[in-house]
Amino acid sequence: MKIFKSLLIPCICFLIILVYFINIDKITDFLLPYVEQENEVLKKAPNQYQKKTNYKFVQNTDNFTVLSKNDIRNVFYTIVNNGWKEFSFYCPKEYIKCQSDVSDISQDQDLLTHINNFVHPYNGFSNIHTKIDESGQINISVTYFYNEDHIEAINKKVDDIYNEIITDDMDTRTKIKTIHDYIINNTKYDINRNEGKDSLYQSYLAYGPLFQGYGTCNGYTDTMALFLEKMNIPNFKVAMTPEDVTLEGHVWNAVFLDNQWLHLDLTWDDPVSNDGKDYLSDKYFLITTEELENIDLEGNPPVTDHNFKKNIYLEFKK
C-alpha cells in the first residue's frame, strides 16, 4: 500500500503532463484570447494641436492592430500628430515581418522627417525612440521641439501680430501675403546655423523669427504655418532631402487655396544679399508646381532646393 501511494503522485503528474502536450494546441487557443486581452492598447486623448486632416501619404488611425508597413507608418503619424510623448502597441502573431518593418521605419530618418512635415509645428518632434520587446510590444518615446514656455510666448506673439496687421476686409490671399511680408521684413537668414557654426538664435523654431529676428528655413516655415493654422487654412510642410547627406535639406509651406495646393517659400523670398541690404521678393508666393519648377530653372545654376518627392507629397502629384 505504501509503495502504491508513493507511485500515485508521480503517475498523476505524468498523466497531467502527457495530456498537456497532447492537447497543447487546444489549450493555447483557449488561453490566447485572455493573453491578448493584456495586450490591449491604451489610447489617450490627443492634444489641442492634433490635425484632423487625412493626407494621401499618412492618415490618422484609431486601429493600432498593424498588418502592414502602411499601417505602421500611420501609427507613427498618429502618435506624433496627437502629441503623445509615450505610446505602446503590439505586433500581432500573424504579421510575421512586423518587428523588422517597425525597425525599418524607426531607423529611416528621411521617412520620419517627411512624416513630421504633416503635423502641426507644435507636434513636430526632435527625436523619436523606438524599443521593440521580444514579446512583440512596440514602445515609442517622442521628444518634441516646442516646450510649454515656447508655445505660450509664441501664441501670444502670433495673436498680437495678427491683430496688428490683418483686417477683416482683406481676402485670404491678401492676409497670407501680409503675413509673408511681415515675417520676411522682420527676419534675417541665420547663415551661421546653416553653415554648421555656433548660433545665438533658436532660428530653427518659430521662436527665432518672432523674437530674435533670425531664422533658417525651418523657422520661416514653422512661423508661416502657425499663422496659416490660426486662419484655419489647410497646410503642411514640404521637404527636399538631398541625396548627399553632408548637404543641408530645405523645407517650405504647402497651402490649400482656391481649390488647389500651392507652394509658399518664405526663405527663398528673403534672399541673402551681397550688399547687406534687405530684400523682399514674392517669386515663390503661392505658386503651382509647374511655376515652381520653371522659376528654379531660371537660376544660374538652376535651383535644386525644391526637388521634392512627389510619391510622398502626393497632393502635388498631377
**Cα separation of the two ends of the chain:** 90
Over residues 57-72, mean pLDDT? 97
Residues whose CB is less than 8 angstroms from the CB of residue 20 and which lie 6 or more positions away in sequence, other chains included? 27
Higher confidence at residue 107 or residue 32? Answer: 107
User: CA–CA separation, 277 vs 269, rounded Å?
Assistant: 14
DSSP string, 4-16: HHHHHHHHHHHHH
Query: pLDDT (tens digit, 9 = 90+) per residue, 187-239?
Result: 999 998 888 888 999 999 999 999 999 999 999 999 999 999 999 999 999 99
pLDDT at residue 240 tops 80: yes
Cα separation, 116 vs 91, whole angstroms: 23
Compute the residue count for the chain.
Answer: 318
Any idea which of 2-6, 61-65, 181-185, 267-271 has the lowest mean pLDDT? 2-6
pLDDT (0 to 100) of residue 4: 44
Q: How much is the pLDDT for 169?
A: 97
Q: What's the confidence (pLDDT) of residue 35? A: 43
Rounded CA-CA distance 122/68 in Å is: 28
What is the tens place of the pLDDT at every residue in 113-137?
A: 999 999 999 999 999 999 999 888 9
Quote the CA–CA distance of 213 and 192 in Å, as a whole number.
14
Average pLDDT, the chain: 88
Instruction: Fold for 69-144, please state it.
Output: Ribosomal Protein S8; Chain: A, domain 1 (3.30.1370)
How many CB atoms lie under 10 A from the CB of residue 152?
Answer: 10
The 10s digit of each residue's pLDDT in 306-316 is 999 999 999 99
Name the pLDDT band for 9 (thresholds 50, 70, 90).
Answer: low
Strands (E), the chain: 86-90, 125-132, 137-144, 188-189, 214-215, 235-240, 250-257, 260-264
> Which CATH number is 148-316 given?
3.10.620
pLDDT digits (tens, 9 = 90+) for 284-302: 999 999 999 999 999 889 9
Query: What three-state secondary structure class fits 214?
Result: strand
| Greater model confidence, 249 or 237 | 237
Question: How do residues 73-103 score in pLDDT, each as one tens digit?
Answer: 999 999 999 999 999 999 999 999 999 999 9
**Residue 191 and residue 154: Cα distance in Å, rounded?**
23
Q: Is the pLDDT of residue 16 over 90?
A: no
- For the chain, the structural domain boundaries read 69-144, 148-316
Task: Give the span between the Cα atoms of 318 and 314, in whole angstroms.
Answer: 9
**What is the C-alpha to C-alpha distance for residues 62 and 55, in angstroms, rounded to an integer?**
15
69-144 and 148-316 in the same fold: no
Strands 260-264 and 188-189 come out as unpaired
Task: Report pLDDT for 198.
Answer: 87
Calpha distance 76→106 (Å, rounded): 9
Least trusted range by pLDDT, from 154-163, 186-195, 243-252: 243-252
